[in-house]
Structure 1
């Protein structure tokens, strides 16, 4: 039996040509900014910062004295909380680093193969501003890169309504940023990717952001590496008949407040849980003075879904088709999801755990795949900042001669005569084979 939809996403309004109405030409705007920064460097960066953020300081880079003055304005409790959260992120990232082992193995006598994990030389981290100061993004990006061993980490964050986001700067500093720039949007991504007179070029850019930031990263991918092709935040809850509909509603709305385009999905084998969750969502949005109710309501109306299945196993299968960024499991046996599901950015198991913990405090990384990308990749982690290299050394003449013979046969099977001759030469030198094409030898 097919799943039943108690609530489906609202269709997006389109014009007579079939295009979504009111859609901004994000790609066109981003492309022009990138081209301008490529041609005009700092002058273009300053012009766009003035245009989009009303921000044009003498230097976008904060000096040590400025950072110290900014941090002095942050309440001590906030500083303490930043450090506690960063200790969680640091501990988990360190365990990730320890799980990655350099190794060398002798796969056959005389043939040695090895692997090394080498940090990227220079990384740029983007910490969003916009509606909210996202301190946690500083922990997730800067700190993780430093644990990976990246020697040069620069970080950009925009001013918020013309004001310095003091707590964000503090989080960036305590996370270990080597340079902090008060600069946002496409101009920040372009400056870090391309390099300007005052902003050094990096080799990799990470961090969440709005559609302009995400599009800039995507357009510059290849010229630099990026963490993920990012989209709006997503949440999906798998719930059984014993789950609390009120908890389902609260947790769905905790993510829907991110913006007006956040998919919030409930998949359950209980029609009662589905219907009562919808009722609780409406009550919370209209009666509890939730400060972000406007955004959450817009997301819920346009992108909220409630799906009812016959069995909990079917619910897991349906949930897996979404490949959602955050998947929360509210069932009697939440750890079943570890074997029942394979497509998700991060799992949050049981009623004692929630997605908000992952977003803000628990220690795992909150930069996660969206728009179905969880089908082929995981989220930001220490491994993303490391390049895995291999090396090879043959230490005996016998091994080199034997591989030379094998290489000659394997290469000629593919009609690669030049490759074959490299092998033949070693077979001649080290196994004393007679090679008819060798007409001279030094």
Structure 2
């Protein structure tokens, strides 16, 4: 593959070893303290990091209604419409997941059931931006999956209850809402405290401290995925509009100063014009201090010879969001397999997925799209197998097979469980049974 890089990232990785180690140590200290001291430690860290220490972190019904009343009717209507889209798609996903039972031979039944997790936590970020849509993606999806109890945690913003976020969480179906953020929120939900119930599964994006807390607590609870900085990659041909390309690159670069924004195209003209429009738009973009740094440090523009090379290179990036601006955008469905989500055609942008179109915006980053997809109703379900043998003949024959398989692995105890069934149902003789039953 011959690729010409018109722009390379100024920083080669989004990970800084020293800062990562510091985050790891801080998070471990917070988790250990909350494990030992519960609510007392939670309150201490909330005061320290968020200057927030209310009488109760859990909102009462009256407080929830008061917060909703502070949100404009238009925003409430928009939340409901976005959630309707998310619910519709999530319900279609749930309907596609079937319980299974088959009779693999006469009298031998195998099956699985898709049972929802009993309790789930949703973390809704609120630092640089109040991510209302994260409430739709985490809480509503869990409820469609059938999770009976979902709690939401979101941090205060500038010392106040984030009214619109609370409205989104309530309308999504949260059973309890806590104004609590950061590592202390994740640890409280994972471990359980005097006032915060322990959850079995936690979903939702967050900053480096939230991601590290999820990593350290994985195993004590399930998690959706370990998310890094937001990523966007655009695959474009010579028909693409460079202004649209530039606009969409910056739409994701504004998430954070370490958000990679990449363009791969077979047209040098499109590439250079898109770069020019990025520079031009940064002059007036309100979030330019963030988006500009992301573009400078992590932006990348690559020109390849043809579209097959473009798709191949895009698959190597395995980006979180991949937009396809080509004459035949659905071609990417066959050409690519490594991505968090595809956005096909210039009429479709990543921002739709982030906010309102209905697919889930909690997606794999840092090349994790090579081996996993994003959050969906299936993440909240446990696919659990069962088996039943009702035929004596079948049980006896399986016993013979089990005995041979087990002794090949030198598991005598396993073998004897099989022997016993063939002894009972096929009347086979075993010396160990005769001796043990004396």
TM range (shorter): over 0.9
Judge conservation of contact 2:12–2:298 (CA < 8 Å) in 1.
no
Compared CA separation, residues 281 and 386, structure 1 to 2 (3 A): same
Q: Give the Cα separation in 1 of the matches to 2:298 and 2:279.
A: 14
Q: Separation in 2 of the partners of 1:383 and 1:209? A: 21
In structure 2, stretches of 5+ residues that fail to align are none
- Output the CA distance in 1 between the equivalents of 2:113 and 2:120: 19
The normalised TM-score by structure 2 is 0.97
Residue 318 of structure 1 is matched in structure 2 by: 313
Equivalent residue, structure 2, for 1:430: 425
1:246 aligned onto 2:243? yes
**8 Å contact from structure 1 (residues 246, 277) kept in 2:** yes
Deviations 1:212-255 (A, max 9, x none): 10010001111111100110000000001111111110000000
> In the alignment, does 2:19 pair up with 1:25?
no
- Aligned match of 2:74: 77
Q: State the shift of 1:438 in Å.
A: 1.1
3-state DSSP class of the match of 1:9? coil
The 1:372/1:391 distance shift into structure 2, 3 A limit, reads same
Among candidates 339, 346, 349, match of residue 351 of structure 1: 346
Q: Where do residues 14-413 of structure 1 align in structure 2 (5 Å cutoff)? A: 25-286=22-283, 289-413=284-408
Tell me, in whole angstroms, the C-alpha distance in 1 between the residues paired with 2:130 and 2:346.
Answer: 28
8 Å contact from structure 1 (residues 231, 371) kept in 2: yes
Q: Deviations over 1:343-394 (max 9, x none)?
A: 0000000011010000000000000000111111100000101111000000
| 8 A Cα contact 1:13 1:20, kept in partner | no
Say whether residues 1:7 and 2:7 are aligned partners.
Answer: yes
Report the Cα distance in structure 1 between the residues aligned to 2:337 and 2:12, rounded to whole angstroms. 30
Assess, with a 3 A threshold, how the Cα gap between structure 1 residues 39 and 21 changes in structure 2: closer, same or farther: closer
Matched, 1:418 2:413: yes
Retained in 1: the 8 A contact 2:79–2:168? Answer: yes
- Contact 1:145 1:382 (8 Å CA) reproduced: yes
- Aligned mates of 2:411, 2:40 — CA distance in 1: 52
SS at match of 2:431: coil
TM-score scaled by length of structure 1: 0.96
SS at match of 1:291: coil
Task: Provide structure 1 residue ranges, at least 5 long, that are not aligned to the other structure.
Answer: none
2: CA distance between counterparts of 1:20 and 1:227? 24
Deviation at 1:415, TM superposition (A): 1.8
Aligned to 1:161, what secondary structure does the other structure show?
coil
Asked if 1 retains the 8 angstrom alpha-carbon contact of 2:27 and 2:212, the reply is: yes
Distance 1:13 1:90 in 2: 36
Q: Distance in 1 between matches of 2:21 and 2:296?
A: 21
1:11 Cα offset (Å): 3.0
Contact kept, 8 Å, 2:319 with 2:340, in 1: the verdict is: yes
Residues 412-431 of structure 1: CA deviation (Å, up to 9, x unaligned)? 22222211111111111111
Change (3 A) 1:283 1:19: closer
Contact 1:12-1:20 at 8 Å conserved across structures: no
3-state SS of paired residue (1:25): helix
Summarize the Cα distance change of 1:114–1:13 in structure 2 as closer, same or farther, 3 Å threshold: closer
Distance in structure 2 (CA, Å) of the matches to 1:276 and 1:204: 45
User: 1:19, 1:297 → 2: CA distance?
Assistant: 20
Task: Tell me, in whole angstroms, the C-alpha distance in 2 between the residues paired with 1:243 and 1:314.
Answer: 17
Cα distance between partner residues in 1 of 2:13 and 2:312: 30
What is the DSSP-based 3-state SS (H/G/I as helix, E as strand, rest coil) of the residue aligned with 1:248?
Answer: helix
CA distance in 2, matches of 1:345, 1:426: 49
Give the alignment's Cα RMSD to 1 decimal: 1.6
8 Å CA contact retained: 1:150, 1:385: yes
Does structure 1 conserve the Cα–Cα contact (< 8 Å) formed by 2:76 and 2:167? yes
- How far apart, CA to CA, are the structure 1 residues paired with 2:429 and 2:55? 73
Instruction: Decide whether aligned partners of structure 1 residues 19 and 72 sit closer, same or farther in structure 2, where only a CA change above 3 A counts.
Output: closer
Aligned residues: 437
